[in-house]
A and B are shown apart, each in its own frame.
Chain A
Amino acid sequence: MKQFGIFIQKELFHIFRDRRTLLILLGMPIVLVLLFGFAITNEIDNARIAILDQSKGEMSQKITQRLLASGYFLIDENLREVAEIEQHFREGKTKMAIVFPPELQENLRRNLPTQIQLIADATDPNTATTLINYASAIIGRYVQDQGRGQAMPLQIHTEVKMLYNPRLKSVFMFVPGVMTVILMLVSAMMTSIAITREKELGTMEVLLASPLRPAMIIIGKVIPYILLALANTVVILMLGAFVFGMPIKGSLFLLALECLLFVITSLALGILISTRTESQQVAMLISLMMLMLPTILLSGFIFPIESMPLALQVISNIIPAKWFIIILKNVMLKGTGVEFIWKESLILGGMALFFIGASVRNFKIRLE
């Protein structure tokens, strides 16, 4: 037990004395969350639009006012000719143009079908779609309000309710994602580097020739990184909750347990990598290529798994991060208990066992 204690103490010395790495490890989650939260966002806020009002009537004025009142749009310029629209887009000044036709006022009064043209800059498809949706909804509501009190032909309105994330805030998507990436990074990459460093510096040779059992060497190396990963989890959750208003509806205890499960799965992966590699650089490259990229791309963090080609959907099943993100979203956003996520948890647990088993098989008690 004393041997174990000194080993962990030694490992903590390594971590705390390498100031630069420590700064990166503790600073990265904060930077990533803030970066995703403030810079990389799909939300529409004060988008600049241009208006070509050919009808010059009361109706078009009112619709424009409604659009501006929503807070989503700002008028960049009032245009005079159709030709100006194209030029405006090319200059990149505006995201969307609204064209009111000359016959707008007349048609509406006579209750005839009429059209308002929305033109969006689709170089950024997500933003374009969102803008069009927002504008259509606002215009639709205006028309509906006008028709009130009159006998209208049969109309069906869809009423949309966005559950769990009513304002469609992207923070709800990236906090679980960033958490997954950071935990993977700290657990898998850092442990695989820490273990291969001992091989590279030759200290593993001395440790092997000592009475320390291999399992003790591995567990001793891993425990400090579990603590570090959990500290990062707390920081990310606090940032998400206090800076971006991310809810944590489910039980905190359950959330902590699931995080621990994912950390253990990642650690086991890191150990497995370290048993097969001899240098820190190779360990880092493998961790990056085989763990980080799939974690970011195939876990559903950024791209929805449902819209991937079938082959990638199948591959995504073997990525631990996919299951962890499902668990996180369930617990944090829906507030579900273990009865709805036991399957995912079981899959993660199975993966952890498999990786640990493979690491034990691959760990060498000698130099070759």
Chain B
Amino acid sequence: MSLLEVTDLTMAFGGLVANDRISFTLHEGEVLGVIGPNGAGKTTLFACIAGFLKPTRGQVRFAGEDITGMRPDRICRRGLVRTFQIVRALPDLTVLQNVMVGAFLRTHAMREARQIAEEVLAFTGLEARAHTPGKNLTIADKKRLEVARALATQPRLLMLDEVMSGLNAQERQQAVTLVRAIQRRGISILLIEHIMDVLLPLSNRVLVLNYGKKIAEGSPDSITRNPEVIAAYLGSSYASPS
């Protein structure tokens, strides 16, 4: 069953068309990867889907409902949540409190929100940081907190915007493990990532953007063999890995 359906989505900033008639479908339980060079329109696409930008044209349907142009908090209530590439940990709140804000979407009871938050912290491996203020976290922990906070809203679809960038190899491996674990929980994932080696093995299908247009869609294997993708993004070095 298709959970997210994007049809002819166009986002123009004056003369600059950041997303040009993009259409795709994400199925329930799937990890759909979105790749593309810098400036391809990945983050704009996220912002349009999650309600932070109102698309110029086109439609976004989530779980059968038209959510185009709806406010982000309403979209989140329906079960679609995003993280930010530029991490936005709430600086004065501790990690636990950050996550509790997300948990309060589904309950107004303090004890229950705390329970949800603690469970999410255990799941994401942030327990040891529970009482650290957001502003004192390392970049890796801030990225993990972004994911934890989003999970606390109990989403059906989680949209991750470059959660691996800026991490070292070990931290990246942890993040990959986490994404897999989230998928096993039955949460669908839309994943923007710019690091190919990370995105391809994680994704069931991949969407490639370039200059605001969708240039390819398919299995990770077929994407790496697509000549247009290789030319636009991967470069010849990827076709013959060294």
Do these two chains interact? Answer: no
Spell out A's residues near B (CB within 8 Å).
Answer: none
